[in-house]
Structure 1
Amino acid sequence: MKLWEKGISTEASIENFTVGNDRHYDRYLAIYDVKASAAHARMLHKCGFLELLELNQLLEGLSELEEQVALADFSIPESFEDIHSYIEYYLTDKFGSVGKKIHTARSRNDQVITALQLYVTDSLEQLIEGTAGFARLLLEISEKHRDILMPGYTHLQVAMPSSFGLWLSAYAETLCDDIVALKAAAVVSNQNPLGSAAGYGSNFGIDRLLTTELIGFEVVKVNSIASQMLRGRMERIAVNAIAQLGATLSKLAGDICLYMGQDFGFLSFDDEITTGSSIMPHKKNPDVFELIRAKGNALQGVSVQISTILTNLPTGYHRDLQLTKPMLMDSFFTIEELLSIFSFSLSKMTPSKALLEQEKYTYLWSVDTLNTMVSSGMPFRDAYKKMAEDIATNNYVPNKEAAHTHLGSIGNLGLDLISKKLEAAVQRGNYSGLSSEK
């Protein structure tokens, strides 16, 4: 069944090609389409396009559909293009001509966008909570291992003393920024396009503000053309935010892969987290972190794919946009999986202690040592040159007792303030007011 059916059959190969995998992905939109359809029916009744009996019939059918689509094994029959045609068929089959009225003053275009907007808004909210949970885990581990020192590197060269607390809390604070980006994407998705029809409105006297309220959107997308322009644009904005989070997870996973290697030996994991080799019995491979790194990086490419599809599309709907739906949903599925497996795996980490007692890390304290000279009154540049000379002539004696006390250093991680930033990001999507807190 097709919403656009006019008694002319479509060649099977064309139909299969154009429908694609819509039925699979529309399962995730079904509950949102039912919700929006119920709000649309209520609005049609208020505006005089449905009798009360007709409204009650439609709401009864939609309530039955809501129960159907909530089942884990729900699937859209192959005789339907998508969930949107299935909903109208179900209502028409049950109530006759009353079911045919559900499509009054709307198009499949705004019907799809509305369901997608709701799906993205809910999915972003769940992702924000999942990201915040992972950030809180990093802060817990940072607190637990705050005093265990590790080498800090620049250019992959030994640089300055760091700590497990400083390293992991860096990622916790970076995740705060990722949450801000996710919250910003949710602002775009939380707009109501329903009633814009095919992109140019209609000559029905409908109440779009009422459907906005009934559905629970934050605000209406006013302009009908702008409502249609959400399709593709909204997916790109959401995937960009997901990709940014993916990049953070990928970078942390990359660090772990490096630090697990025997040449570094900064940390280890329980055997149940690692995998082996088919030929080398001693191997404990970081496969899980390598895959997190790869999948997080691959998300960057999805954003580029969507942007490429949108390039030079004229104003109005185009079937090209069908391809953005699986990209969007698969991005959500991937990032949620990464957060879940990363949270489980990271809890099995054991940091190596006494790392900095190794001779190869002696020069980690060169900056601390020259800063001690500066604190005693020597100009910085003179202290720098003296330190370089001492190193060159083997007269360097490291000062390992210098205290790091400023906010954000190994001696003052500022975990409480990072935690406040995290909660501010989750609650309001910005850090306003935190700069004055001590």
Structure 2
Amino acid sequence: MLGRFFQPLSRAAMSSAPSKPLAVRERLSEVRYEIRGELARRARELEAQGRKLIKLNIGNPGAFGFRAPEHLQRAIADDMGRTDPYTHQQGLPAAREAVAAWYAARNTPDAHPDRVFIGNGVSELIDLSLRALLNPGDEVLVPSPDYPLWSAATILNDGRPVYYQCSASNGFLPDPSEMETLVSSRTRAIVLINPNNPTGATYPRELLRRIVAIAAKHRLLLLVDEIYDQVLYDGATFEPLAPLAGEVPCITFSGLSKVHRACGWRVGWALLSGSAELITPLQHAMDLLGALRLCANVPGQYAVEAALNGPDTISALCAADGRLYETRRAVIEACAASEHLALCAPAGALYAFPAVVGDAARGFDDYQFALELMEDEGVLVVPGSSFNVPYRNHFRVTLLPDAVSMREVFARIDRALARRAEANTKVVSLKPRSRPAAA
């Protein structure tokens, strides 16, 4: 009977219907994520044509031959038979207990399993926390450059990112005095990324104390992305924020993706700290949103306890002669040897953020350069402006390839920049000289 009433439209009827594309959310026009955007789509087209590309756009260890440590793989394999059911919306109890204990050992106040949320990577938890926090028009202080998910999640949850500058002249560290001038009656939170993506900057204790003081004075939530907390070079130190924040509300984000090279497992965590009176409403809101998505990926959660209580597998990679260290050194040396590049050496994380300088920088457009570099030299980088900065002379590369590959990458980059510099010099030399004024 139902078939009499619900007949599919004929081709003739469809062809006579108005051909108007489906409308999408307007605020998406404000969102940028060039790490996986148009350049990455063009890269796939070139690869389909048989081109070989060196893709440095994503910090994805598994794509460069890294594997998650064996003791994490065993932990999942041993418990695979228990992974079929949903778990609690905040995560497996054993995983949350391990996270709480890890942060308690770092002197995080009141680190308790009830304050831990396990998510499908830190990305999901960033979105969830901002959805729980923001009302339309609320503002979030975000670093510039930022990891663009922070800006996107703020915008898509009807907030407004307000950028505080982290300039190369200051080692990509922010100025707390400038940050405080940006606080308004609509400001709800301050985002920190430490160690920083894309710059590799690490934040000293005194700087963090001053930022905590701003949050305390203006009753703001601290949102701190510490996913690279153990990826450090040349004696750089990491200062966790929550112990310094004390009673000031703070959410600390981390996970298995970077330190433990398990991006595809999609396991991240968020820990709420600070005064129970202040954070409980936010905790309940996050719990509700977590329940609406049922739970995070269960198999990967069985690796959390093994990751946090098992052997250190990252420090050797970051120490002298370690693979990450040697690749970073190759980048530093290549930039130092180039007349077209300048670099603040990254102290942590998995990226470098070089600047184009000199003759090559005249009229430089980072997106166009990234496209030409891919088309002409087979190297994919991320334009610096993708990280919400007001300048267009930077680009980001990941440090995950081996050192030999990275030297080849920068030889190609330098070759492309040399062509630009030569073309710019010719343009200048061909400009007609102004005639002297008549007597």
* Class of the TM-score when normalised by the shorter of the 2 chains: under 0.3
Structure number with higher helix proportion: 1
Indicate the structure whose relative CO is greater, using CA pairs within 8 Å and at least 6 residues apart: 2
Per the normalisation by structure 2, the TM-score is: 0.20
